Amino acid sequence: YEKLLRQLHQASSALSDPVMQEKAARLEQISARIFALAEKDASKQEQLRKFISYYLPTSLKLLNTYAQLDSQGVAGENITRTKQSIQRSLDLLVTAFENQLDKLFQSDALDVSADIAALEGMLNLDGLSGDSGFSVQP
């Protein structure tokens, strides 16, 4: 994970466009959070297989390509069009990385929902939920 984060940071540092630097920094931040979760919970690592083997390397390739094109000092049609395409792709990738992070909490959310439903059921069964029909009038 550290190696991938280092590569993301290096790719981000090679960019001169502040907007692209911000997008790359966001990818790095989200990736760090994703990796932190994976390190804490090994069961989440399986969910990250495609993220680590495809999405992250492709993101790095796009960032490095953008930096390379930007360093040419020429605004030709192919360079400009490719850079614009990469900019749009990074917007998609930021959203995808955010969704990946959110998806890692899916099983936790299901566990919490089940715990809450069980708790509410037990409280109702034991007459502790406050829905007993008994009320105290002041």
* Pair 11, 60: CB distance under 8 Å: yes
Specify the pLDDT at position 64: 96
Specify the pLDDT at position 25: 94
Specify the pLDDT at position 128: 84
* Pair 23, 75: CB distance under 8 Å: no
**SS3 string of the chain?**
CHHHHHHHHHHHHCCCCHHHHHHHHHHHHHHHHHHHHHHHCHHHCHHHHHHHHHHHHHHHHHHHHHHHHHCCCCCCHHHHHHHHHHHHHHHHHHHHHHHHHHHCCHHHHHHHHHHHHHHHHHHHHCCCCCCCCCCCCC
Q: What is the pLDDT along the chain (138 residues), one digit of tens a residue?
A: 899 899 999 999 999 999 999 999 999 999 999 999 989 888 888 888 899 999 999 999 999 999 999 998 888 999 999 999 999 999 999 999 999 999 988 767 667 777 787 788 888 888 888 765 554 455
* Pair 24, 8: CB distance under 8 Å: yes
Specify the pLDDT at position 102: 92
**Cα–Cα distance, 16 to 9 (Å, whole number):** 13
Q: Which of 7, 105, 100, 109 is nearest to 50 (CA)?
A: 100
Residue 48 sits at the vertex; the CA angle it makes with 113 and 34, to the nearest 5 degrees, is 70
Specify the pLDDT at position 20: 94
